[in-house]
Amino acid sequence: MNKKISPTLIGGFVLGALALLVIAVIAFGSGRLFRKTKEFVVYFDRDVNGLNIGAPVKFKGVEVGSVKNILLQLDQSLEVPSIPVLFEIDLKKITSRGGTLTLLEDPAALKVAIDRGLRAQLRTESLVTGVLYIGIDLFPGTPVKFVQAAGSKYPEIPAVPTTLERVEVTAGEILAKLSEVDFKGMMDSVSRAVDGVGQLVNSPALKSALQRLDQMMPKIDQAIAEIRKTTGNLDGNITTLSANFQQTSDAAREAMQQASLTMKQTDAALKEAEAAMINIRGISDPDSITFYELGRSLREVSAAARSLRLLSDSVQRNPRSLIFGKPEMREGK
């Protein structure tokens, strides 16, 4: 008599076959059985909020792997110096031209790539959701910073900060330096300087001095006119005197030439004085504080005018004195 087969056994066999079929479909459909992957580690020294397990790993925008694990390592002071992130890369997706060599499988080839600037970087996949992914790219000239010791289980790819991170660090350094500046002291100094200038401009002494300077302007113009007139007369006398003494000695002729040169220099000085007077009229503006130096210069000009007037009167009375000097007083006279 034949033994009856249990329906439960048949059902279990069917369910097991279906489960194996589903597993096979998933395995073959995902391609994991035929993938050649390698795990790497990167250490980030910033917050990785938004980076999830399974997040893509992209090389120049091409997805070449995914994040496998995110760890948290604390030091003795409960600080987090860096966060290690494990990720895998499908080596067949990063090969040499022609597909004959996987560039990241060989440790020597990986070292060459790192020396040429191969770095890992946290990047934002969506600004709305804040989801992050790992971007691998070449950053030539960036410093190489390894965290784990040599010979570790997972090869390490150095991390590089993003542009936003560098801006944040630079901004923080600038703010730290600005916080050390004594702005209150600077503003107090500026305020005191402004108050001092205001007091000087509004001081009665300055206003009085400017008024006196304005009153002196007509006298200065008159003094220059008299100097020019005296110089013209003196120049005419010297010209006449030169004509009368053309036959005198070489010494006398040299003295006359020197006197003529002196008068030309005096005339040039007067022209400069006239130009200076134009500037003086501008200086007399209520905002100027140079009246002291101007007064001293005017006293010197007045003294020069008196000297020239005395010289002119002396030459007119005795033209020969310009060459032979002042006559000596004889005894008994």
pLDDT digits (tens, 9 = 90+) for 123-148: 988 888 889 999 999 999 888 888 88
Could you read off the pLDDT of 40-61 as tens digits, one per residue? 999 998 888 889 999 999 998 8
Separation of alpha carbons 304 and 316, rounded Å = 18
pLDDT: which is higher, 332 or 222: 222
Segment 266-287 shows an average pLDDT of: 60
When the pLDDT of each residue in the chain is averaged and rounded to a whole number, the result is: 73
SS3 at position 332 = coil
Helix intervals (H) in the chain: 7-30, 107-115, 163-179, 183-201, 204-244, 250-283, 291-317, 321-324
**What phi-psi label fits residue 61: left (phi over 0), alpha (psi between -120 and 50 degrees) or beta?**
left
Could you read off the pLDDT of 296-305 as tens digits, one per residue? 565 665 565 5
pLDDT band at 331 (very low <50, low <70, confident <90, very high): very low
The DSSP call for residue 125 is S
Name the strand (E) or helix (H) holding 123: strand 118-124
At 160 the pLDDT is: 92
